[in-house]
Structure 1
Amino acid sequence: MKQSKLILPIIVISQFCCTSLWFAGNGVMNDLMINFNLSSSALGHLTSAVQFGFIFGTLIFAILTIADRFSPSKVFLTCALLGSLFNISVIWEGNSMASILSLRFITGFFLAGIYPVGMKIAADYYEKGLGKSLGFLVGALVVGTAFPHLAKEMTGTFPWKSVLILTSSLAALGGILMLIMVPDGPYREPGSKLKTSAFLGVFRNRKFRSAAFGYFGHMWELYAFWAFVPIILKTYSMEHPEAAFNIPVLSFMIIGIGGLACVLGGYLAQTMGTRRIAFIALLLSCVCCLASPLLFTAESESLFIGFLLFWGMVVIADSPLFSTLVAKNAAAEIKATALTIVNCIGFSITIISIQLLNVLQDSLNPKYIYPILAIGPIFGLIALIEKKKQHPTKPKLQ
């Protein structure tokens, strides 16, 4: 019984430690640009390299149903150790833009064995209250993603390489903790055979499709917003010279506060319904996208930061809820594969939105480019509304 109470905290801690690899390059972006003579477009390219790696990794993991056929904790450890190795390799002084892109790509590849596999492990333990459990888990992902920005500020008196060393060390620790403390869960149903058909077969379920499409719309906005938070802060500072922002700390706060939102969303979902809370969060983040040009006209720094903190909450609050809906509407023996497939497609979408903002910031005034992120939430809302309309006419499917 004591062990069961420790399971969720250990999964959360491990997820936080390992997902700190995700934005490790973003946390030291200025240093990378200076030390390796990178262009201003490096932000979008290096962020996209991780996403590409994650997409390729999730594609391989999904087709081979790796996390369903093998012990998820062992898969998690292996990917954590390999991801930390390639992350720390960025500190080599002989690196170039091409080699750094490759290293970030491979790091992203092994993150495919961390994030969705961590959700699979949680789903193997928590059949009831899964939304709350995934709220904590995705909250850990959010704080882990934001952590390199804080680590950069914390290690300001040390070489930039210390951020990469720290994040790699944390990832190795997280993987070891998962293996030692979290055995295979009681609800795990291992898949004994390779099922390549599972990659497309999961979408035959209408409720699964609705949750997945909602998630896809959410992903169009999420990582583009996270990647450009420092740019948003810098843009405002340039137009309001009196604003003395500590950009690394504020970036951590704006991204990291989403972890709290994930936990709160999980609790609210228990009383108000998972899909309803996901819909509300997606709607609010859509409003933030559309209202973003007005954000830069705010004379009050407190109003500006308050808006970004609110956006940082609603942009991610629906993520664990969509994952909950996906997990609940997938067959138990391919649950990990279903989560991985949805992650694969969702992160593919992030590449497009990140690169689109990367192009637009060079051709338009940066303060006018963020409403385009509303396209995703609008698409996701339509998917959820469509399901809601079908509910009363086909009660037997529920």
Structure 2
Amino acid sequence: MNKTLSVIVISQFLCTSLWFAGNAILPELAASIALSPSFLGHLTSAVQLGFIAGTLIFAIFTIADRFSPSWVFFTCAIIASFFNFALSIDGISALSILVSRFGTGFFLAGIYPVGMKIASDYFQKGLGKSLGLLVGALVLGTAFPHFVRTFTSGLDWHYVVYVTSGLALAGGFMMAVWVPDGPYRNRSKGFDFTLFFSVFQKQKFRKAAFGYFGHMWELYAFWAFTPVFLTAYGLKHQDSFDLSLWSFVIIAIGGISCAVGGILSERFLPIQIARLSLSLSGICCILSPLIFLQPFSIIMLAFMMFWGVVVTADSPMFSTLVAQNVPTHNKGTALTIVNCIGFGITIFSIQLLNWLQVIINPAYLLIILCLGPLFGSMNIVQKNFSQSEK
């Protein structure tokens, strides 16, 4: 992996550590201002809503294609870190927490999809590999607040906020200093307000996007409710384990599968890897009640780790297919559009689980997520994609 790709990947990891910073400290936040159990769903949804709003604005005004993507990344990293830092203000209200998370999500729209745009500007050959590493960095970044909380359990919860905000600042500076505009960047000449709709007229792009949407129905809801599933299992079977540590492991292990999937995309079609990953994660959804009801925690944890592997492996493959099936000068905006809609879908699945968790047995909570892999698999049929897209 060359220096430029290394910097892009590390910067993406550092900045996306902001994503679940609120989730990692939710128990302490809940205790300090008497939040209800349902606040988990609202907290996660606030970030997603912010991200959706941000990607919508970025897509309409074609920000990533009109301006230097490295400087867009840098600017958004700085602002997002300050919104995240607001969580540490003493006496913060529940509404202010949601505003803080919304603002963080809004400016993450200039980090995650823009990071993929930067990678695609540098790597046309081996794009699947580079995006695999990049999305892997996102997964590790998303899990990292749980890791920080594990090793700061004896310290005040504010340290999680300090660490993640500081890392985001460092990631933004790294991108601005060491990653200039890529050699394959083709700057957009102006605003194109019709692009949000016109890109879906191309069948290959549309099929890749629909597959991604099915993947997103499952992904963030799985991540957000993994601690809920683990807690409920421990209570039912009177078993104890480090919740923060295992939440980190189950989420973070997906970063490895993204990287491995990216490497494998040099030998296999991205569509093949995506379809296999979707199918396996859908099977995990269906099997989750059986795993919850069995009494051996080692089996449950191994199953959740496997699920964490397959639930993410298709993500960089979909991004690769999207990037390969859109004109070069619209690549950044197209990735942003697909991210915008995909994260909009996560709101529905997260809020659905948020509502279901108080009315059904937790053993059956995650089974509804199988609808995403089913829909996605129906749309990504290999015959829709040419061999040249490998």
CA shift for structure 1 position 56: 0.3
Tell me what 2:167 maps to. 170
Distance 1:347 1:69 in 2: 23
The amino acid of 2:373's aligned partner reads P
Distance 1:272 1:134 in 2: 15
Q: 2:307 aligns with which of 293, 297, 311?
A: 311
Q: Residue 244 in 1 paired to residue 243 in 2? A: no
Q: 2:371 aligns with which of 360, 370, 375?
A: 375
Taking structure 1 as the reference length, the TM-score comes to 0.96
Q: Pairwise CA RMSD of aligned residues? A: 1.5
Tell me what 1:290 maps to. 286
Distance 1:397 1:48 in 2: 34
Superposed CA deviations along residues 317-341 of structure 1, whole A, max 9, x for unmatched, are 0000000000000110010000000
Change (3 A) 1:271 1:78: same
Moved more, 192-201 or 109-118: 192-201
Superposed CA deviations along residues 245-272 of structure 1, whole A, max 9, x for unmatched, are 1000000000000000001111122112
* Structure 2 contact 269–389 (Cα < 8 Å) conserved: no
CA shift for structure 1 position 192: 2.0
SS of residue matched to 1:113: coil
Counting only pairs closer than 5 Å after superposition, residues 62-211 of structure 1 correspond to structure 2 as: 62-211=59-208
Distance 1:76 1:266 in 2: 23
CA shift for structure 1 position 309: 0.2
Q: 2:26 aligns with which of 5, 12, 29?
A: 29
The amino acid of 2:34's aligned partner reads N
Q: 2:221 aligns with which of 221, 224, 233?
A: 224
Superposed CA deviations along residues 322-369 of structure 1, whole A, max 9, x for unmatched, are 000000001100100000000000000000000000000111111112
CA shift for structure 1 position 51: 0.1
Superposed CA deviations along residues 184-208 of structure 1, whole A, max 9, x for unmatched, are 0000001121111111111111000
Moved more, 138-147 or 367-376: 367-376
Superposed CA deviations along residues 70-123 of structure 1, whole A, max 9, x for unmatched, are 000000000000000010011111311111101100100000000000000000
Superposed CA deviations along residues 145-197 of structure 1, whole A, max 9, x for unmatched, are 00000101111121100100100000000000000000000000011211111
CA shift for structure 1 position 391: 6.4
Distance 1:266 1:170 in 2: 25
CA shift for structure 1 position 307: 0.3
Taking structure 2 as the reference length, the TM-score comes to 0.98
CA shift for structure 1 position 28: 0.3
SS of residue matched to 2:309: helix
Distance 2:191 2:347 in 1: 29
Q: 2:49 aligns with which of 52, 59, 62?
A: 52
Distance 2:296 2:24 in 1: 27
Tell me what 1:337 maps to. 333
Tell me what 2:274 maps to. 278
Distance 2:228 2:389 in 1: 46
Distance 1:138 1:11 in 2: 11
The amino acid of 2:87's aligned partner reads V
Distance 1:201 1:44 in 2: 33
Q: Residue 349 in 1 paired to residue 345 in 2? A: yes
SS of residue matched to 1:252: helix
Tell me what 2:257 maps to. 261
Q: 2:354 aligns with which of 332, 352, 358?
A: 358
Superposed CA deviations along residues 198-224 of structure 1, whole A, max 9, x for unmatched, are 111111110000100000000000000
Superposed CA deviations along residues 21-49 of structure 1, whole A, max 9, x for unmatched, are 00000010101101122111110000000
SS of residue matched to 2:241: coil
The amino acid of 1:26's aligned partner reads N
Runs of at least 5 residues in structure 2 that lack an aligned partner in the other structure: none
Distance 1:226 1:174 in 2: 23
Tell me what 2:36 maps to. 39
Change (3 A) 1:382 1:162: same
Change (3 A) 1:296 1:184: same
Q: What percentage of aligned pairs have identical amino acids?
A: 56
Distance 1:105 1:397 in 2: 36
The amino acid of 1:186's aligned partner reads P
SS of residue matched to 1:296: helix
The amino acid of 1:337's aligned partner reads T
User: Number of residues paired by the alignment?
Assistant: 390
Distance 2:28 2:256 in 1: 30
* Structure 2 contact 204–384 (Cα < 8 Å) conserved: no
Superposed structure 1 runs of 4+ greater than 3 Å apart: 388-392, 395-398
